Amino acid sequence: MSRTCMRIQKWTLTLWFFSSTVTAIKAERAELLSSVSLATDTLRRLTRLPLASHVHLLSNAHAVEIDAASASVS
């Protein structure tokens, strides 16, 4: 194989690697932004609720955690 062909292969592989890395980073960034947006929306909704609703939501979340823990133990 000629030296020029080997250089072309090397640069092709390098470009492919960086391209796939950038694509993966963009996908992770989009997923992270989606999660942050969801968390922000949830916090915004929770701050609009009266205190009694917060207590109810927290007790429901705790009950779900207990149910999940007992289900995994069984």
Averaged pLDDT, 2-30: 88
Question: How many angstroms separate the CA atoms of 60 and 71, rounded?
Answer: 16
Q: Is the pLDDT of residue 71 over 60?
A: no
The residue among 16, 35, 15 whose CA lies nearest residue 27 is 35
With bands split at pLDDT 50, 70 and 90, how would you rate the model's confidence at 69? low
Is 58 in contact with 46 (CB distance < 8 Å)?
no
Question: How many angstroms separate the CA atoms of 38 and 33, rounded?
Answer: 9
Looking at residue 55, its pLDDT comes to 56
Q: Is the pLDDT of residue 74 over 50?
A: no
Average pLDDT along the chain: 74
